[in-house]
Structure 1
Amino acid sequence: MVDLSGRAVLVTGGTKGIGAVIAETFLRAGADVVVCGRNEPEKPPSADGRTARFLSADIRDANAAVELVNGAAELMGGRLDVLVNNAGGSPDADAATVSPRFVERIVQLNLLAPFYVAQPANKIMQAQPEGGSIINIGSVSAVDPQPGTAAYTAAKAGLLAFTKALALEWSPKVRINHITTGLVLTEAAAHNYGEDGGATIAGLIPMDRMADPQDVANACLFLAGDLSSYVTGADLAVHGGGEIPARYMVTRD
């Protein structure tokens, strides 16, 4: 286990799903953790007798994002060592009929919000002798679009480019990296993967399984710590090798 004792970590969208597992993983590593969401959870993430603190925020609003970052740093002794931009997502929608309002909201959540949070986080990290690490949670949709995800795909592709641009501007004090997640089997998303719980889909992935949220959390732990001290502007693929090409699936015996 990576030791992050004394580090201050903020995880957006950290109250459930992948974000909650990321928060719990940092808690087990010894870090102080603040999570945010629009609604306070019944039970905030906890691990090894330690519990994340919660701040309510709609990070699609730039002012709210600044207040979140400053509030989180205040709760953790004026520090912010790691930001995990995890909040995101989108329901499927037909690009031919989807409303402009829908597109705006998806882009706000998946592209603009990460920037709104990263900017004040960078300000704090640049002033710290140790700097800091920002991790953007992306999606394989950015490079391999699926039907029904046009707005989401565009936003996530922007997040990947945005990560690389910030790495050029904010280094060397602040490292910014990106994780390309594939299909992640969470309790909330299980219904999207068929009646067999995703078993058929798992057969299309070289690793022969869908990702567990812990796989994403472990990647965050690596990018946050000293083992990745020379890694910035990188895209770490956590997708089990992607998907086996359709032409192979239909022609193999």
Structure 2
Amino acid sequence: MSLVLDFSGKVVAVTGGGRGVGRGVVEAFLDAGAEVEFCGRSEPESLPERAGRTARFCAVDVRDAAQNEAWIADLVQRHGRLDVLVNNVGGSPFGRFEEGSARYFQAVTEINFLSAAVAMRAAFGPLRVTSGSVINITSISARRPSPGTAVYGAAKAALESLTRSLGVEWAPEVRVNAVSSGLVHTESAAGHYGTSTQYEQVARTIPRGRMASPRELGDVCVMLASPLSAHVTGAVLAVDGGGEWPAFLAHTPNADIVRQADRATTNGGATS
């Protein structure tokens, strides 16, 4: 049987869809034919548009439970349905754990875990009607040490745990999955990782020799929300280009294996 990823007539909600990974998710669902709504604290300079359909923006601070819930309720009322919720909002500044305040810990947890939990609770009823799905964007920081962003990693680990639990609790009516993102080339990536040389050095730590594009994360979200993944729930799918090269390999007789990443990056990165 041939399956086409056609989301015509479907309604998709994305938190934090104005830039970076969220923008890639919005564009991927637009290309699949969906009606897409996204939220954020400030409206982007341009709204994603495909084939006469423009993604609709709503100003929402998802850390505020009342705003978060009202956004979901409003879009469901206007469209009469909800098929997919993508919880993408997240992030954290870099800083030593012992220097963080209790308020800082709370804020990082709110944006990276509690906001998604509130949105999922608000969306459950409408998603149940459409046999829809939730996709949570998490991070490799949830499963490996995250020095400098320890609370962020812990919050994303909590979100992955919630994903697995709700994948069972809400089955068979609503599917709940997560996309665990590795390093992504976003608008701020070069500045975040330092100079262009430092950026390239970081990219070489990825087996595929480059960072992901936001659209690559978006395409995986479309796949997980589609009939191709009809029996997938409670899963955490890593989209990280193979993760990270084990550090010890660089100091063994097999170091040439690691150097393949250098060659891949120098030659423009691995092919898709």
Counterparts of residues 200-219 of structure 1 (less than 5 Å)? 200-219=201-220
User: Once the 2 structures are TM-superposed, how far is the Cα of residue 16 of structure 1 from its aligned partner?
Assistant: 1.2
User: CA RMSD for the aligned pairs?
Assistant: 1.3
Q: Per-residue displacement from partner, 1:25-64 (whole Å, max 9, x unpaired)?
A: 1111100000101112221222333210111111111111
Higher percent of residues as helix: 2
From 39, 44, 49, the equivalent of 1:46 is 49
Q: d(CA) in 2 for partners of 1:87 and 1:189?
A: 17
SS in 1 for 2:93: coil
Q: TM-score, normalised by structure 2?
A: 0.89
Q: d(CA) in 2 for partners of 1:39 and 1:192?
A: 21
Aligned length, in residue pairs? 250
1:146 aligns to what? 146
Counterparts of residues 75-114 of structure 1 (less than 5 Å)? 75=78, 77-114=79-116
From 4, 27, 42, the equivalent of 2:7 is 4
Q: TM-score, normalised by structure 1?
A: 0.95
Structure 2 unaligned spans of 5+: 257-272
Q: d(CA) in 2 for partners of 1:245 and 1:150?
A: 21
Q: Is the 8 A contact 1:168 1:233 kept in 2?
A: yes
Q: Percent identity?
A: 46
Q: Which of the two has higher C-alpha Rg?
A: 2
Structure 1 unaligned spans of 5+: none
2:260 aligns to what? none
2:270 aligns to what? none
1:189 aligns to what? 189
Runs ≥4 residues deviating over 3 A: none
SS in 1 for 2:201: helix
Q: d(CA) in 2 for partners of 1:152 and 1:47?
A: 34
Structure 1 letter corresponding to 2:41:
R
Q: d(CA) in 2 for partners of 1:218 and 1:15?
A: 17
Query: Quick check: 1:176 aligned with 2:176?
Result: yes
2:77 aligns to what? 74
